[in-house]
Amino acid sequence: MMRDESSSIAVAYSVFCAVCSKFTEHNHGAKTVRAKQEV
pLDDT at 30 over 70: no
pLDDT in tens, 10-23: 999 999 888 878 87
Q: Where are the domains of the chain?
A: 1-39
Q: Which of 15, 4, 20, 30 is nearest to 38 (CA)?
A: 30
- d(Cα 4, Cα 6) in Å, to the nearest integer? 6
| pLDDT confidence of residue 11 | 92
CA triplet 5, 10, 13: central angle to 5 degrees? Answer: 120
Q: How far is the C-alpha of 14 from the C-alpha of 2, rounded, in Å?
A: 18
Q: Determine the residue type at 35.
A: A
From start to end of the chain, where are the E strands? none
